[in-house]
Structure 1
Amino acid sequence: MAVRTQVKFYYDILSPYAWFGFENLCRYQKPWDLDLQLRPMNIWKIMSESGNTGPWRNPSKFSFMNRDTQMVAEMLDLPYKPSSNFAEAAAVRGSFPTLKTLAACQILYPDHLEELSRQSWLGLYSRDIDITDEGNIRHFARAAQIPDVDKLIEFSSCNEAKQQLVDNTTEALDSKCFGAPWYTVTNPTTGKREKFFGHDRVEMLGWVIGKEYKGHHPPQ
């Protein structure tokens, strides 16, 4: 029996580019028979440890990002709407409560982590709502059809969920991650691991593992 290609995808909901890479990669999960492992991580810890800086601290980068994200979303056919105050959403509110919930979902309901992540991104970058508000997080969980929302929310405050988030972030840093989205891909034949950064690396990922990239909407 063929061994599936393992892809670990590291992300924080604060990054719209992580959403774009996530959706494109998910579209290739079945066609390429990927063992896709989602790893929510703390982008602030990543930035701090790697010496990277956010786009809101660079006017040229921030101005470019506004139009660039809109074009990428249109290309991928995603219902993206820029945050009305990205600096506040990223630098003031952050995403820690959401990340803890995603880490809790990774432990309790791993089969629902993909959809909970998607619903969280839709909240921030389609409906422009506060993803740190518990009521909104509960809404995301219900939309993701989490079996027991109360259990998920309660567990997200436990040390085990917090430690899972720390472990994910440490794992990313150990692989030299400096931003999101970040991927590590292990070739099932050679065991060699490659690393990728950016929403537009899915085609290169396919090239590395010998799979054909067939556009942003591949046949399933």
Structure 2
Amino acid sequence: MGPAPRILELFYDVLSPYSWLGFEVLCRYQHLWNIKLQLRPTLIAGIMKDSGNQPPAMVPRKGQYIFKEIPLLKQFFQVPLNIPKDFFGETVKKGSINAMRFLTTVSMEQPEMLEKVSREIWMRVWSRDEDITEYQSILAVSV
């Protein structure tokens, strides 16, 4: 019997492809790394606003880099990550507030479902280029 697992909190937003990569790696290796993963849905737009930062995609050079980096990260981490067709219109401008509110509710009401539901929302936006802003789209993941 080894040491007790350390608690690791992951604060994430489904709008961020980098959050998804971190999420998948931590979920994949939590037992090997002897950590107890606690998922914390967090609205990244609020953090960006309060800190005075812009999302990386809105900074011209960072935005260009993301489009080159995503295919490499997809291959390296074996996560089905694809940039949505209308990335700026659909993803960045509409945001993730409804999806993140939903995930916060899932974390409070059915925490055992949070990993599965979070992954499915990421799959909607970052793999299948589907909506995550309308309530009916979000509720479709819980069925």
What interval of TM-score do these two structures reach, taking the shorter chain for normalisation?
Answer: over 0.9
Question: What is the distance in 1 between the residues matched to 2:88 and 2:65?
Answer: 15
Which residue does the alignment assign to 1:5?
6
User: How far off is 1:29 after superposition?
Assistant: 1.2
User: How far off is 1:141 after superposition?
Assistant: 1.2
Between the two proteins, the alignment pairs up a number of residues equal to 142
Question: What is the distance in 1 between the residues matched to 2:61 and 2:99?
Answer: 29
What SS class does the counterpart of residue 114 from structure 1 fall into? helix
Please give the per-residue CA displacement for 1:33-70, whole angstroms capped at 9, x wherever unaligned: 31111001111110111222112322211111011011
Which residue does the alignment assign to 1:85?
86
> Equivalent pairs: percent with the same residue?
35
Which residue does the alignment assign to 1:33?
34
Which residue does the alignment assign to 1:44?
45
* 1:56 has 2:57 as partner: yes
Which residue does the alignment assign to 1:72?
73
What SS class does the counterpart of residue 141 from structure 1 fall into? coil
Question: What is the distance in 2 between the residues matched to 1:56 and 1:35?
Answer: 31
Question: What is the distance in 1 between the residues matched to 2:30 and 2:142?
Answer: 22
Question: What is the distance in 1 between the residues matched to 2:120 and 2:58?
Answer: 28
Please give the per-residue CA displacement for 1:64-104, whole angstroms capped at 9, x wherever unaligned: 10110111011111111111122123332111111111000
Please give the per-residue CA displacement for 1:118-145, whole angstroms capped at 9, x wherever unaligned: 0000000001011112222122112xxx
For 1:34-183, what aligned pairs fall within 5 Å after superposition? Answer: 34-142=35-143
Larger relative contact order (Cα-Cα within 8 Å, sequence gap ≥ 6): 1
One-letter amino acid of the structure 2 residue matched with residue 97 of structure 1: N
One-letter amino acid of the structure 2 residue matched with residue 52 of structure 1: N
State TM-score, norm by structure 1.
0.61
More helix by share: 2
Please give the per-residue CA displacement for 1:135-159, whole angstroms capped at 9, x wherever unaligned: 22122112xxxxxxxxxxxxxxxxx
Question: What is the distance in 2 between the residues matched to 1:34 and 1:58?
Answer: 34
Question: What is the distance in 2 between the residues matched to 1:65 and 1:136?
Answer: 26
CA contact (8 A) 2:57 2:66 kept: no
* 1:17 has 2:18 as partner: yes
CA RMSD of aligned residues (A): 1.4
